[in-house]
């Protein structure tokens, strides 16, 4: 077989996002002298911690070809459960464990509906978005719980001593590290990509597709619960309407990070770079005097670019390969004529 000499497109979207992150940090620090201050960086990191934690799990889920729109509601349900349990006299530590358990169960509920009953995850999680949020209102009614233990709230609002990293950074780094390793360096990770690329072929090649998907929904529920704990501590309050609309921010970040909505494609560091860039841009825009509206337009624009650009590079690649094929046949034709 003759070797094709089509130049490969070296650019990949996730590398672009990392570059974009570096660029936005530079522009941010150029735009405002306050950007690179410890307090601002600490604020930026704290403001994206919850989204980062959920995005880690969401990346797995979208790569496997599913989606979960109920994550923000699970986050709020965890927060509400913690608040309710604590209000009823349960020690805070145990309330947190209960909250995590609630998130796990919520994820299991989604997973069972999708994998065992075979319902479409988009529709199911729109339903559980309402259901879980509804349960928040049921258990807390319209009375947020604000009297949480001081030392726990400090954990949610103070930095690791001597640094500008909030305590939540540890969780983000830890989970991101594990998630990165599992996704890119283990059999399970390869399975997730395989399932997202072709679920039927995956099943025939012996991958327990439904069990993996069920596991991913439970994982997403758990991570949303972890985000719920962080959220509760950061705002020192458990309220039924907390984090509304976060699901779209998470999904936007994951897709911007180079995960294909059709499944089968994505990297963990692309996603993390995307979450960070969105946090950096938000802060940069605010410091440069832009309104929050600019951020909405920018996130939407980035999201669009993240799907359009791969399409364009694909188009260019196809045109190039077409052109080179034509060139080769022309050359062959010429040689034939010369003979």
Partner 1 sequence: MSILRRATRFRELPVLLGLVVVYLGTGFLNPIFFSVSILNDIFFGVAIVATLAIAQTFVIVMRHIDLSVGSVVGLTSFLIGDLSSRGFSLLAVLFAALLVGATVGAVNGFLVGYLGLPSLVVTLATLYIVRGIFNEVGKGQTIVESMVPKELNWLGLNRLFGISYLFVIVVVLMLIAGVLMQRTRAARDLYAIGSNPSAAGLVGIPVKLRVLAAFTATGAISGLAGAVMLARFNSSSTQSGLGLELLVVAACVVGGVSIAGGTGSVFGAVTGAVLLQTILMAIGALGIPQFWQLAVNGSLIIAAIGLDRYLSTRLRSTNIMGASS
* Contact residues for partner 1, defined by CB under 8 A: 67, 69, 113, 117-120, 122-124, 126-135, 137-138, 141-142, 244-245, 248, 251-252, 255, 261-262, 291-301, 303-304, 306-308, 311
Cα 246 to Cα 135: distance, rounded to the nearest angstrom: 17
Sign, CA torsion 209/213/214/219: positive
CB of 326 to partner 1, least distance (A): 24
10 token code pair: 């070296």
CB of 168 to partner 1, least distance (A): 25
Contact 208, 61 (CB under 8 A): no
Q: How many CB atoms lie within 10 A of CB 142?
A: 8
5 token code pair: 């000499």
46 token code pair: 């704290």
Q: How many CB atoms lie within 10 A of CB 333?
A: 10
Of 38 and 122, which has the nearer Cβ to partner 1?
Answer: 122
Q: How many CB atoms lie within 10 A of CB 322?
A: 10
CB of 239 to partner 1, least distance (A): 13
CB of 100 to partner 1, least distance (A): 21
Alpha-carbon Rg for the chain in angstroms: 23
Cα 245 to Cα 124: distance, rounded to the nearest angstrom: 17
CB of 293 to partner 1, least distance (A): 4
Of 159 and 249, which has the nearer Cβ to partner 1?
Answer: 249
Of 287 and 298, which has the nearer Cβ to partner 1?
Answer: 298
What SS3 class is residue 256?
helix
Of 39 and 319, which has the nearer Cβ to partner 1?
Answer: 319
CB of 29 to partner 1, least distance (A): 24
Among residues 77, 72, 74, which one has the least CA distance to residue 239?
A: 77
CB of 67 to partner 1, least distance (A): 8
Of 76 and 268, which has the nearer Cβ to partner 1?
Answer: 76
Of 216 and 251, which has the nearer Cβ to partner 1?
Answer: 251
Of 19 and 261, which has the nearer Cβ to partner 1?
Answer: 261
255 token code pair: 């897709």
Among residues 184, 68, 73, 195, which one has the least CA distance to residue 134?
A: 73
């Amino acid at each position: 077989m003759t070797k094709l000499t089509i130049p490969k497109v070296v650019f990949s979207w996730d590398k672009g996002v990392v570059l974009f992150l570096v660029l936005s940090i530079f522009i941010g620090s150029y735009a405002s002298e306050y950007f690179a201050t410890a307090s601002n960086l600490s604020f930026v990191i704290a403001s994206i911690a919850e989204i980062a934690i959920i995005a880690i799990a969401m990346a797995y889920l979208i790569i496997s070809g599913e989606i979960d729109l109920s994550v923000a509601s699970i986050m709020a349900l965890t927060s509400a459960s913690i608040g309710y349990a604590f209000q009823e006299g349960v020690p805070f530590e145990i309330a947190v464990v209960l909250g995590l358990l609630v998130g796990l169960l919520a994820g299991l509920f989604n997973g069972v509906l999708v994998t065992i009953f075979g319902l479409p995850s988009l529709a199911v999680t729109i339903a559980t978005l309402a259901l879980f949020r509804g349960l928040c209102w049921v258990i807390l009614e319209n009375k947020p719980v604000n009297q949480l233990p001081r030392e726990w709230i400090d954990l949610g609002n103070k930095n690791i001593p001597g640094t500008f990293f909030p305590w939540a950074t540890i969780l983000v780094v830890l989970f991101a590290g594990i998630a990165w390793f599992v996704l890119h360096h283990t059999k399970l990770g390869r399975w997730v990509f395989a399932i997202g690329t072709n679920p039927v072929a995956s099943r025939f090649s012996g991958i327990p597709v439904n069990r993996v998907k069920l596991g991913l929904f439970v994982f997403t529920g758990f991570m949303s619960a972890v985000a719920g704990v962080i959220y509760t501590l950061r705002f020192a309050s458990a309220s039924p309407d907390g984090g509304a609309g976060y699901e779209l921010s998470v999904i936007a970040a994951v897709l911007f990070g180079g995960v294909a909505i059709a499944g089968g494609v994505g990297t963990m560091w692309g996603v993390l770079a995307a979450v960070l860039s969105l946090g950096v841009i938000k802060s940069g825009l605010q410091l440069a005097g832009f309104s929050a509206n600019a951020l909405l337009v920018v996130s939407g624009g980035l999201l669009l670019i993240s799907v359009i650009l791969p399409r364009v590079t694909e188009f260019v690649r196809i045109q190039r390969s077409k052109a080179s094929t034509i060139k080769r046949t022309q050359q062959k034709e010429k040689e034939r004529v010369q003979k």
